[in-house]
Chains A and B, each alone.
Chain A
Amino acid sequence: MSMIRQIVNIAWKELIQIRRDTFLILFLVLAPTMQLVLISRNTSRGLSDIPTAVLDLDQTAMSREFVRELDTTREITVRYYPPSHDDLHHLLDSGDAQVGIVVPRGFSREFNSPVDAPARVQALVDGTNVLIGSMIEPVIVGVMGLFVQRHVQMPPGVDIGGVEVDASALFNPTFNIQWFVIPSTVAFIVYQVALVLAATGFVREKEIGTLEQLLITPIRRLELIIGKALAPIGLSILNFMLLLAVQTWGYDIPMRGSPALLILVAALAIIAIVGVGTLISLFTQNQQQAVLLVFLLAILEVTLSGYMLPVENMPLVMRGLAQISTLQHFMTATRAIILRGATLSMILPHVLALAGIALGAGLIAWRAFSRQIA
C-alpha cells in the first residue's frame, strides 16, 4: 500500500512539473499534430502540376488533341510550346520545364496505321529528380492508352497486344499511400515524444541535484522508477489516442480492428519505449547527452522500423536488429490492427517482443540504478 502511495507521490509531482512547463506542453501537443498534418498533406498530393514543355512537330488535329489530353492530367501542366529542339533543351536546362515531350512528325499517320511503325512520343526528363522520372512514364503511357481506346476501332474480342496488369490491392484497394504513411507517422510521433520525456526524467533530477535528495528519503528505487515513468506513459497514451482520433476522423483512415486491442498494444509499446528512455536517462550525465542519444536511437529505429524499407527486404543483420526495435514492433502491430483488422493472435510475436523489451529495460534500470549510488 505504501509503495503505491509513494509511486503516486512521485507521479503527481511529475505531472505538476510537466503542467508548468509551457515549452514541454507545446512539444507534446502542437509539434505532433503539426508533424502529422504536414506529412499527410504532402504525401496525399503526390506529384502534380509538373511544368512541362511540348514540342509538337506533327501539328495535326490528332497531335494537338494528344497534347491537350496530357495537359488535363493532374501530374502534367503544359506550360511551354518551344518552336525547336534547341528551345526545348534550353527550357529543360534552365529548370523552367521539368519534363519535355516531343511529338514527332508523322505521329498521327503512324497512329492510324500502326502496322508499319508504332506511334511514338519522346519524353525528356530531368534525371536528377528521380521522383519525377519514375512517375512521369506511367502518366504518358496512361494517356496513350486512353487515346488508343478512343481512336482505334477494334473488332470486339481482338486484343491489341501488350501486357495487361491486373493488380488488385488487398486491404487498400485504391493503393492510397496515406493509409500506410499516417498510421506509421502516428506511431513514430508517439515513440519520439515518449522517448524524450522518459530520457530526460532522471537526468534532469541528476543535473539539478534533486536525485541525491530523493535518494536519502525513505523512497525505494523501484518506487522512484515506476513513479517517474507513469507520467510519460500516461501522457503518451493520451497522445496516441488524440492522434488516433485525428487519423480516423480527420483523415478517414479505416479502423478495422478492435480499438481496445489497439490501445492496449500501444500502451504496451509505450511502456517499452519509456523503459528504454529511462535507461538512457540513468546512464547519461546531462540532458544534452540524453537528447543526443535519443536522436541517434530514433534515426536507427526509423531505419529498422520498415517505414522506409520493408523489414523483409533488409540484410540479415538489420532484420535481426529490427526484432529488438520497439518502433518496428509498435508500427507493425498497430498498422496490422488498424488496416487489416488483426487480432491478438495474429500480432502475438510483436506483443511478446514489446513485453520482453519493457520487462528487460525495467529490470536493467532497476539493477543499474541500485548499483549506481551508495
Chain B
Amino acid sequence: MAAIVTDHLHRKFRKTVAVRDLSFAIEQGEVFGLIGPDGAGKTTTLRMLAGVLKPTSGRADVLGEDVVGNPEALRGKIGYMPQHFSLYGDLSVLENLTFFAEIYRVPSQERKERIARLLRFAQLEAFADRPAGKLSGGMKKKLGLACALIHSPQLLLLDEPTNGVDPVSRREFWDILADLHLQGVTILITTPYMDEAERCNRVGLMFRGDMIQQGEPEALRRLAPGEMLVLYTPALAQAEAVLPEFPDYIEHQVYGDRIHIFVSDADAARPRLQTFLAQRHIPIQSLYQDEPRLEEAFIYLIRQARLA
C-alpha cells in the first residue's frame, strides 16, 4: 500500500508556480529522497503533504487521508521536521520532548520510557537539561527528529534535516534513520547532499516544480550520459576550453582540480584523448575511467532540463 500518492498536485504563490502538476507515489516503508536545486519546489511539496499548506489544485493522499479535503485527519499521525530549527530554544531538551509528548497525547504511562528511549537514540541523554537553543547544530537536528518521533509516527517528512550539519553528526543522523527504516517507518526526506540521496531506496529529482526523474539511485546514476573519464591537469581552463572539440565528447563537469568527461566508449576514447590533449600542449597528470556517481547524473539531468 502506498503511504503517499499525489495526483496533479499544484501550488502557485502569486504568479510563481512552486509545484507543477506533481504526481508520484511512495510505498509504505520506503525511504524516499527528494533532490533538486534550490527553488525546485521540494519544501513546498513537503509542506503540502504535511497539511500545513493548501495546494492550489490537485490531490494528495497521505496515509490514506485526503490532505486537501481533510487536513485535520492527518494531525498527529505524521512526524514533520520543517527546514528551520523549530523547537523552543528557551525550553530544555527534556521540556521540549515532554511538551510535544503531551501535545501529541502520548499516554502518560508510556511517556517516560519513550522520552528516555528517544534521548538515548538521539544521544542527547547528557544534555537533557540544556536549553535547546544552546545545543550545537547537529544536536538541535537530532532533538528536532526526536520530537518529531515522540508519537511513533508511521510517516516522517524531513526537510533538509542535515543541512549545515558536520559529517559525523550527519552520519549519526542517518544511522537513526536507518533504524527507523528497519522498524518500517516511511521516510520522505529532502537533501542537498548526493551521498545522502544514494542511501535512499528511491530518489525523485525535482526541477522547476516538476519531478523530472525518479527511481532507485542505481538507476538514476545510469542516466549519466555514456561513460566517464576523470582528468587531472594543472591546465584546467585550457582543457575545458578545447574539450568540446574532441570528437567523442558528450559533456564535461569540473570538480575542483579535475574534470569529468563523458564519452560514449571510455576504453576507445582514452588513448585518443591523450593524443588530443598532447597535441594542444595540455599536460596530463592522470586520466582514468571511473563510475559516474549520482551527482554526475544529477548535474547532467538538470542541464538537460534547463536546455529544454
Contact = CB atoms under 8 A, between A and B. Distances in A.
Given A217-B75, A217-B100, A217-B103, A212 B90 contact: no
Contact of A213 (B51, B82, B131): B82
Interface string A186-210: 0000000000000000000000111
A2 B107 CA distance: 12
Nearest to A219: B103
Nearest to A10: B103
Contacts of B89: 208
Interface of A: 2, 5-6, 9-10, 13, 16-17, 20-21, 208-210, 212-219, 373-374
B80 A13 contact: no
6 contacts: A17-B88, A208-B89, A209-B85, A212-B86, A217-B75, A217-B104
Contacts of A216: 50-52, 74-76, 78, 80
Nearest to B78: A216
CB-based closest 5 A-B pairs: A218-B76, A209-B86, A374-B71, A209-B84, A9-B102
B88 A13 contact: yes
Contacts of A213: 80, 82, 86-87, 147
Contacts of A2: 105
* Interface residue SS majority, chain B: loop
* Interface residue SS majority, chain A: helix
Nearest to A224: B103
Contacts of B288: none
B111 interface: no
Q: Which of A5, A10, A216, A217 has the most CB of B within 10 A?
A: A216
Given A17-B88, A208-B89, A209-B84, A217 B95 contact: no
B75 A13 contact: no
A212 B104 contact: no
B85 A214 contact: no
Contact of B53 (A16, A209, A373): A373
Q: Which of B80, B103, B147 has the most CB of A within 10 A?
A: B103
Contacts of A21: 90
A97 B161 CA distance: 72
A218 B75 contact: yes
Contacts of B54: 373-374
Nearest to A9: B102
Given A208-B89, A216-B51, A218-B103, 8 more contacts: A20-B90, A210-B87, A216-B76, A216-B80, A217-B100, A217-B103, A217-B104, A373-B52
